[in-house]
Homo-oligomer: A and B are copies of this chain.
Amino acid sequence: MTVLLKNPKGKVTVKMRAGTAEQGSGDGEKRGRKASKETRRQQLIEATIDSLAKRGYSDTTLADVADGAGLSRGIVNFHFESKENLLIATLQFMAEEYADHWNAALEKAGPEAAGRLWALVHADFDRKICTKRKLAAWCAFWGEAKSRPTYQALCGARDVKYQETVISLCAALKAEGGYAFEPEPTALSLCAMLEGLWLRLMMGDGTTREKALEAAIAHVATVFPKHLTLQGPRSQ
């Protein structure tokens, strides 16, 4: 919804921008000019993800982000000081959202290692996390991470915790099931596969979210046959 108003000097200003839907009328958030600093920052971060997905890292401009948010050209420097800061904040947001998501999935999964691994794999392909635009944004950052220590640190922090969790799950399953593998290479190959599937999804060859999830499940069912099947974790 967009409303155009003319002010006394005949200039056209836009109130109630066609932004994201986070400003419901029921919550405590104010709208339009009164939006809080945090709301604006989040709105700009969402517009940045859109732009990264649509135009790629190297063609993402502040003008495009501002247009996407329905705000003026100077807005990013007002709220983030610099383009660099905006991009870092965007990556930080995505990394936190990702970590929160799989941590929540783990918590819901209960104490059994098999169910926890099952939940972890599914979390990666959940509709909330695994959307075209977010995958594309992740990949844009990966492409730049090599030459930007800040991005590398943020992407790396994402992985380290995750991989440690997978390693300990592999170790627990090995102890329970008497498998022959070493936990660390097994966990590494599993994590790498999940990331590789994301890359495939992003690249838009035939791979769909369903096929990717199927392949991931087939993988873990093969590696942990005593604990996981294509249909779900076996009850121990």
Chain B residue nearest to A205 (CB atoms) is B156
Is the CB–CB distance between B143 and A185 below 8 Å? Answer: no
Instruction: Enumerate A156-215 residues with CB–CB distance to B below 8 Å.
Output: 156, 159-160, 181-182, 185-186, 188-189, 191-197, 199-200, 202-205, 207, 211-212, 214-215
**Interface assignment of A86: CB less than 8 Å from any CB of chain B:** no
Classify the interface of chain A: helix, strand, loop or mixed: helix
Is the CB–CB distance between A147 and B199 below 8 Å? Answer: no
A146 proximity list for chain B (CB < 8 A): 53, 56, 136, 139-140, 202-204
Interface flags for A125-169 (1: CB within 8 Å of B; 0: not) read 000000000001001111111111000100110011000000000
A223 proximity list for chain B (CB < 8 A): 219, 222-223
**Interface assignment of A216: CB less than 8 Å from any CB of chain B:** yes
**Interface assignment of A118: CB less than 8 Å from any CB of chain B:** no
A192 proximity list for chain B (CB < 8 A): 192-197, 199-200, 212, 215
**Interface assignment of A102: CB less than 8 Å from any CB of chain B:** no
- How long is the Cα–Cα vector from A187 to B222 in the complex, in angstroms? 13
Is the CB–CB distance between B54 and A142 below 8 Å? Answer: no
A205 proximity list for chain B (CB < 8 A): 156, 159-160
**Interface assignment of A55: CB less than 8 Å from any CB of chain B:** yes
Is the CB–CB distance between A216 and B204 below 8 Å? Answer: no
A75 proximity list for chain B (CB < 8 A): none
A222 proximity list for chain B (CB < 8 A): 181, 186, 222-223
Q: Which residues of A contact B (CB under 8 A)?
A: 53-59, 136, 139-148, 152, 155-156, 159-160, 181-182, 185-186, 188-189, 191-197, 199-200, 202-205, 207, 211-212, 214-216, 218-219, 222-223
6 nearest CB pairs, A to B: A143-B143, A192-B196, A196-B196, A56-B147, A193-B193, A58-B58
